[in-house]
A and B are shown apart, each in its own frame.
Chain A
Amino acid sequence: MKITKRKVKYLLLTMIFTFTFLSILTYFKPMDYLTEAEYNKALAPRVLYWGTQGEDVKKVQWRLVQWKYLVGDVDGIYGPETYRAVRRFQQKNGLKVDGVVGPETAAALGITLSEARPASSAGLNRQSDEYLLARCIHGEARGEPYIGKVAVAAVILNRVEHPDFPNTIAGVIYQPLAFTAVADGQINLTPNKDAIRAARDALNGWDPTYGALYYWNPATATSKWIWSRKVTLKIGKHWFGV
């Protein structure tokens, strides 16, 4: 009778453990996704400083006037008065006192800095390309030397230009069965600085592979077909080919 009881107890404990484990497994969501705001902050912040003009400056001045840091006109020109007001604001709020409105100061002011652009070019930039490429590099070539990262990005860009493949960066990256890091979700990890740098270098034209369309890791490649490709260069763990 006693043994049964103990058995039941053990069984119960195991049940509870499995249960907790399962529920953690189902509901746990790793918080390593960059939000768009964070990404913008890390990459290409618009910065207002002495001499800047425009709508954004007006927004800053308006807030500073409202909160009594600035006594003066809201004229959209970042002059000495605005500069001093910004410094006072930064001092009061424990920010870096530099008289420059970057993303952090802007956030503390409760405004977002938009770029004052004409409608014809509003929103035109390369950030989404950069970010997507960087994510793919990070997923596919995290442990590779810097040149290996650029090479992976170059292969993606070479595919975009080639008739055998889709014609957009997203089309190439998300083509089913094309990249293992996409299939297993590693592409959703936050890209590190090196990945972003490599993406930019590749987008600016550096192609260390001279037009390669394929790469694979000979130690882990599962597709037999990939071995029929012609190897041209080996960088880090990857073989590149056409």
Chain B
Amino acid sequence: MMFGRVALFVTCLVDQFFPQVGEATVEVLERAGVQVAFPEAQTCCGQVLANDGFRKEAAELARRFVEIFEPYEAVVAPSGSCVAMVREFYTELLSGTPWEERARGVVHRTYELSEFLVRVLEVTDLKARFPHRVTFHPSCHLLRGLGACGCAERLIRSVAGVEFVPLRHPEACCGFGGVFSVKHAPVSEAMLQDKLSDLEVTGAEYVVSTDVSCLMHIEGALRRRESPVRTIHLAELLASR
């Protein structure tokens, strides 16, 4: 399928903390034959506000998102979590307002990167090369929120040189959960500990994910312990040559 205008919703975390993931996303999309636009007015999907209880504020950010991305044929984000927020909560947040219908339109054309590549563009081979042992942590929102198409794993397996070792419990949450990670830090840390033990068993050099939120959580603990294991976003993996 060909697209005229595809907008990148880079997400606030990628924009601020992981610009290289945004660049890799652009690189991968362009390699797949897509022209990428970056609407400059964009900021955040509002999930942090919605999940902390600030409905009115989250609704305003949802309205803003719809307004900014409405002109595009598709919206692609390197994040399962932000896309799940858009899909699961935008129509509810904007229900009863004139924006509800407009939101519905945008919601239906907002995609997570791996699902956009595999399901919409039907591209599974991006001619990437990454000669390392890797494992994959699917974010909860990718796995359960977006209904697990297995797209990300297919893409990882298509990368030349990759030695893929699955996690024993890929479905387990890493314990991030946005505000949960600070509001219930001890529980969050204990969940993260389980994830790290799982990672260790695989002997992987890199842990891949579709979400920088999980990755920064996992990496925070890896760095603190001076672990040699590295984190890498799926887009970066696919952009590697």
Q: Do A and B originate from a single complex?
A: no
